[in-house]
């Protein structure tokens, strides 16, 4: 469907005595494949030598048994990447490996730098050469420049230079390092595996590697693991920590089995559906969720309303998330083969259709049309996030403001455009309630314009 789309996913592992660690990382990357489907890469460190393989495509397309067998090492850094159509080139794949005076390092990045152009101009004037203009290469170049023998100090100086939302995985010849931006906008967790540690963008990846979640990397924290010793550098120890995690991690981005900053994605979505049912009740025969991310909210809606939840849309499980298609035409074409209504369930029935969010509305309109053609008597659309009024500039690929359906007119006009009998969004107060009520913990800029001050 037409959704916001996150940028990337990161895995970093160290496990003493296991030269086949890349296979563990491979399973971890599969756990966060939903965060990026354009390219995948794995870098390994073997006896101080860093090598990397990356290519365009899904993890299962990029890596086969032959390639995995060639990647030996006790430390590994992995990445899956989402890119918009302008950036969809192999040169932008990650991790990025750089060699410099103090050695070599690999970097994987998730997020966006808002002062990228300023940094590029400054570094070009100083004689640096870039192979691309990616945020990841800028960060790698800055760390290499500042590394005088203390990698943590080099990262701290880099963090003082960059502005934006990010989580970063770094692998040196001796350590793996996890870094999170001062507001914790992009997620990053650390877990324990047998004989080592792992960083991952989502806790579900740690589960898939038979690890145990320890905690989230804190906003503004540099967390380094070297020789099985974990060292934390809190860059905000002398300042006020203003946490502002991306609220859409809970609405849509994260897998339901992931827990981020203490909140489980599935339970928060289920709670949002329950609140939505109370805020916007409707008489209907069935509640149907748009697979996959709308299902939890639909179950919650059913629990609260007493209307039976059922499966009314069959998903083609061999397609990736439709939003991953970079062009709008590809998104609209994909929806035709991704979701198929079950006529025997829908025909003659009043349907509550629940989805997690709606951005442009164009592919939702096509889905509504297919449900109507399957014989639905009424369609009442319920959305488990508030209307989206603003673009995100903090690491989420979004439509232009004028293309956002919420800015196009009244609820009545949007109903007419989509072809539904009624439409309601959860209130922003309801969304906060589904997340425990602490509104100060989240970035809600796309909903109400309240972006964190970077």
- Give the active site residues: 8
Q: What is the DSSP letter of 85?
A: G
Q: Which residues are within 8 A (CB) of 298 and not within 5 positions of it... i.e. 6 or more apart?
A: 273, 287, 288, 289, 290, 309, 352, 354
Q: Strands of 208-359 (E only): list them.
A: 212-216, 221-226, 229-234, 245-246, 259-260, 263-264, 286-289, 308-309, 313-315, 339-341, 350-355
The residues facing 108 across adjacent strands are: 169
Residue ranges of the alpha helices (H) in 339-391? 343-346, 362-373
Please name the residue ranges forming H helices in 189-294.
203-208, 248, 265-279
**Cα(172)–Cα(151) distance, integer angstroms:** 9
The span from the CA of 215 to the CA of 191, in Å, is: 7
CA atoms lying within 13 Å on the CB side of residue 429? 2
Instruction: Round to whole Å and give the CA distance between 337 and 399.
Output: 23
Q: Using the Cα atoms of residue 185, residue 186, residue 191 and residue 197 in order, give the sign of their dihedral.
A: negative
């Amino acid at each position: 469907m037409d959704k916001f789309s996150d940028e990337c996913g990161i895995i970093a592992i160290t496990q003493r005595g296991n030269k086949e660690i890349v296979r563990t990382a491979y399973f971890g990357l599969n756990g966060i494949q939903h965060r990026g489907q354009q390219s995948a890469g794995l870098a390994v460190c073997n006896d101080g030598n860093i090598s990397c393989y990356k290519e365009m495509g899904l993890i299962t397309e990029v890596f086969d048994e032959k390639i995995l067998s060639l990647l030996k090492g006790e430390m590994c850094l992995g990445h899956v990447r989402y890119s918009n159509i302008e950036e969809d080139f192999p040169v932008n794949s990650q991790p990025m490996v750089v060699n410099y005076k103090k050695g070599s390092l690999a970097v994987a990045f998730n997020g966006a730098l808002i002062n990228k152009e300023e940094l590029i101009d400054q570094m070009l004037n100083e004689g640096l050469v870039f192979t691309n203009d990616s945020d990841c290469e800028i960060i790698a170049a800055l760390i290499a420049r500042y590394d005088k023998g203390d990698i943590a100090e080099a990262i701290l100086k880099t963090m003082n230079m960059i502005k934006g939302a990010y989580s970063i995985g770094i692998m040196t010849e001796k350590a793996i390092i996890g870094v999170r931006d001062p507001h914790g906008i992009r997620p990053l967790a650390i877990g324990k595996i047998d004989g080592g540690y792992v960083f991952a963008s989502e806790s579900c990846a740690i589960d898939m590697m038979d690890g145990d979640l320890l905690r989230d990397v804190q906003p503004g924290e540099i967390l380094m693991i070297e020789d099985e010793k974990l060292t934390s550098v809190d860059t905000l120890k002398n300042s006020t920590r203003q946490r502002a995690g991306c609220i859409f991690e809970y609405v849509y981005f994260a897998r339901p089995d992931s827990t981020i900053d203490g909140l489980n994605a599935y339970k928060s979505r289920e709670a949002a559906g329950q609140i939505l049912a109370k805020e916007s009740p409707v008489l209907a025969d069935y509640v149907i969720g748009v697979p996959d991310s709308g299902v939890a909210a639909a179950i919650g809606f059913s629990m609260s309303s007493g209307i039976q939840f059922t499966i009314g849309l069959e998903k083609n499980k061999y397609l990736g998330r439709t939003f991953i298609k970079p062009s709008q035409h590809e998104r609209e074409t994909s929806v035709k083969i991704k979701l198929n209504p079950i006529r025997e369930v829908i025909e003659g029935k009043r349907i509550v259709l629940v989805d997690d969010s709606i951005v442009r509305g164009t592919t939702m309109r096509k889905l509504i049309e297919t449900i109507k053609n399957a014989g639905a008597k009424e369609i009442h659309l319920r959305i488990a996030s508030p209307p989206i009024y603003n673009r995100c500039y903090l690491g989420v690929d979004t439509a232009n403001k004028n293309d956002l359906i919420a800015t196009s007119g009244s609820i009545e006009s949007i109903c007419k455009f989509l072809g539904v009998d009624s439409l309601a969004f959860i209130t922003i107060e309801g969304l906060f309630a589904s997340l425990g009520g602490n509104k100060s913990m989240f970035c809600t800029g796309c909903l109400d314009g309240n972006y964190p001050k970077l």
